Structure 1
Amino acid sequence: MIKSLIQKLFIRNKKKDELIKGLKNISGFKTMDETELEGNSQRKPKKFILEKGKVLPIFLPEFEGFSNLKITKWHFQAGDLIEEGSIICEIENETITLEFESFANGRISDICPLNKILKTGEKLCELEGV
């Protein structure tokens, strides 16, 4: 019994490590520890400014080793104004749930339907500069 519990602990840590490794491929992703270490620096990240009238499609990034991802909740509807850092939607599968954050201010449009199985590179929504 103890052996099976120990094996389960190590499997969970392995899956966590695999998830973090996959997320590290995303530009700008940082773990909580990395964020806390940088929190003491005075350096501010560059803001991405979406020009008025420009449309930016937002695509599902690659999450290595994870499939059957789908949007289970939209926090905004098409036409809503969003700010940088706002949680746009929740993406999940049977093992993980991710909150997808906006990296610019704008108007959200052309959203993907809920519960549609997504592929890497598939468009989630569009962001229009205002």
Structure 2
Amino acid sequence: MIKKIINRLFFPEKERNPNSRTERAVQKEPSNSNQTNTVAFKKGEIHTFTIPNLGNQEPFIVTQFYYKPGDVVKAGAILCEIENEEITIEMESYFYGKIIATCALEEELTTGTEILKIEVL
């Protein structure tokens, strides 16, 4: 028992949990910080944006579209504002594409309802 306590106190680099790594082990690993995680979208794919599931936060209303069907949007562009009595959400595009269709403004929407469709360019 004393040996275990001494090992824990004086040999912290020794792994206690097989799934954990010591600070020294993490520092020795090659850094991949220059790599970014990107998702490849195929040209011509159509993606649908829907009302997210936020628990009991219903109904939602699309109060404003910043683009109309036919407009081209860049990744990161704010597409529309969605709100209810408690919150306001801005939907952001995560790829470059052309807006194909949008839902009606000021209409009550529930979780999973389609807001707009975008074709990847």
TM-score tier, shorter chain, comes to: 0.5 to 0.7
Aligned positions of 1:27-46 closer than 5 A: 42=33, 45-46=36-37
* Offset, 1:45: 4.5
1:5 maps to which residue? none
Distance 1:51 1:58 in 2: 17
Distance 1:95 1:63 in 2: 11
TM-score between both structures, scaled by the size of structure 1: 0.63
Indicate the SS of the match to 1:64: coil
**Structure 2: 5+ residue stretches without partners:** 1-31
- Larger-gyration structure (1/2): 2
Indicate the SS of the match to 2:86: coil
1:82 maps to which residue? 73
Moved over 6 A (4+): none
Aligned positions of 1:29-68 closer than 5 A: 42=33, 45-68=36-59
Q: 1:109 to 1:67 in 2, by over 3 A?
A: same
2:88 maps to which residue? 97
Identity %: 30
Distance 1:65 1:120 in 2: 10
Residue correspondences, number: 90
- Structure 2 residue 104 is the aligned partner of structure 1 residue 113: yes
Distance 1:107 1:47 in 2: 20
**Structure 1: 5+ residue stretches without partners:** 1-40
Name the structure where strand makes up a greater proportion of residues.
2
Q: Deviations over 1:1-28 (max 9, x none)?
A: xxxxxxxxxxxxxxxxxxxxxxxxxxxx
Aligned-pair Cα RMSD in Å: 1.7
2:18 maps to which residue? none
- Structure 2 residue 115 is the aligned partner of structure 1 residue 124: yes
Q: 1:48 to 1:83 in 2, by over 3 A?
A: farther
TM-score between both structures, scaled by the size of structure 2: 0.67
